[in-house]
Homo-oligomer: A and B are copies of this chain.
Amino acid sequence: MSIAEIGEFGLISRVVARLGSGPRALLGPGDDGAVVAAPDGRVVASTDVLVEGRHFRRDWSGPADIGHRAAAANLADIAAMGAEPTALLVAFCAPGNLDVAWAEELAGGLSAEAALVGASVVGGDMSSSPTLTVAVTALGDLGGRAPVVRSGAQPGDVLALAGRTGHAAGGYTILSRGFRTPKMLVEAYRRPVVPYAAGPSAADAGATSMIDISDGLLQDVGHVAAASLVAIDIRTDTFTVPPAMRDAATALGVDPYQWLLAGGEDHALAATFPPGATLPEGWQEIGTVHDGAGVTVDRKPWSGPTGWDHFR
C-alpha cells in the first residue's frame, strides 16, 4: 500500500504508532507543537538532513537502518555539545508511491536510536516530494554544564577520540564496489555506533573543545583548529587498524588510514582536554594541540582527501 493511498493523516497515524515516548516528552506528536522538558533552562538544538542518492541508497540500507543513521547524526551533535539528547523532530518527504511499510520502518529506526539515549520522536511533518528526504532536528539538555564549543582548544591541550572512525567509510567503499562483506564495516555504515555518553562525560572532565566527526576526522578537527586559532597534530600510531578493515582495504586497494582519518559518518566524538587531564572512560589520546594553524598527521600535511562536501 502506498502513502498516497492512505493520505497524509493516515500516514501520520501509522507512523506515530511506531514511536515510543521518552521521559522528556511532556507533550508528544499530534498537536501544533510538542512540549519537551528543558530543566537546564537552555536547550541545545541541531539539524541534519539526509537526502536519497546523496546520503543513502535504498538498495544499500533498509528503512530502519536509515532511521537509525538519521537519528544518530543528530543525537551525536547534541552529545558533542556536552548535552544529553531529549527529543527528535522529523520532516519526512517522499514520493506518493512509497510503500507505507517503508515509512513505518524508518520511524521505528528513528525511535529506536533515540531510545538508546532516553530520547523520543516528539513531532514532525510530512510532504510528498520527488526526492526522499529525512530532515531531523534533535534537542538536548545541558544539565548545568557549559556547552563545549569548537573554539576552546588551547596550545598544549591533548586531542582525544571517543568511538571509532573509518568503519562507515570502509562499508561505503565496499558497497560502492558492489560487495556486501565484511559485515563489520557494512553494518557500521548502515548503523553507526555512537558513543553518546562520552559527550557529557568529556564536558564534565573539562574538555576545552569538542566536535562530532560526521565528515571525516581531518576535516572536522580542522574546524576545531580554525575556530580555536590553533594547529592540531594527529598521531597515526595511536590508531589500530582492525584486521577486517585491513583485509578489506588491501582487497580494494585502499589505504586504511584514508578511511580512519578522512572517512565520515561513524559519528565518533573528538575533544581537546587540558594537559594532564584524566581522560574519561571511552576516550583515547590521538594527538596534540599547538601554536599555529591547520591539521597535520604525524607532523606532516595529509596528502589525500580530508572529508566530504555535500555540494561537491
- Contact (Cβ within 8 A) A33 B137: no
Contact residue among B76, B127, B212 (Cβ-Cβ distance under 8 Å from A51): B127
Q: What 0/1 pattern do residues 216 to 229 of A give for CB contact below 8 A with B?
A: 00000000000100
Total residues of chain A contacting the partner, CB 8 A: 75
- Contact (Cβ within 8 A) A142 B45: no
Q: What 0/1 pattern do residues 39 to 61 of A give for CB contact below 8 A with B?
A: 11111111111110111000000
A146 and chain B: residue at smallest CB distance: B35
Q: Which of A34, A41, A137 has the most CB of B within 10 A?
A: A137
Contact residue among B8, B32, B54, B142 (Cβ-Cβ distance under 8 Å from A312): B8
Q: Is A294 an interface residue (CB 8 A)?
A: no
Q: Is A197 an interface residue (CB 8 A)?
A: no
Question: Which residues of B lie under 8 Å from residue A4 when comparing CB positions?
Answer: 311-312
Interface residues of A in 1-31 (CB under 8 A from B): 3-4, 6-9, 11, 26-27, 30-31
Q: Which of A90, A129, A210 has the most CB of B within 10 A?
A: A129
Stretch at the interface among A79-87, A104-112, A255-263, A281-289: A79-87
> A30 vs B147: C-alpha distance in the bound complex, in angstroms?
13
Stretch at the interface among A118-126, A158-166, A176-184: A118-126
Give chain A's interface residues, CB within 8 Å of chain B: 3-4, 6-9, 11, 26-27, 30-51, 53-55, 76-78, 80-81, 83, 87, 89-93, 96, 122-131, 133, 135, 137-140, 142, 147, 149-150, 210-212, 227, 309-312
A-B contact pairs, 13 of them (CB 8 A): A7-B312, A30-B227, A32-B77, A32-B78, A32-B150, A32-B211, A34-B45, A35-B44, A36-B43, A43-B43, A46-B89, A48-B91, A49-B135
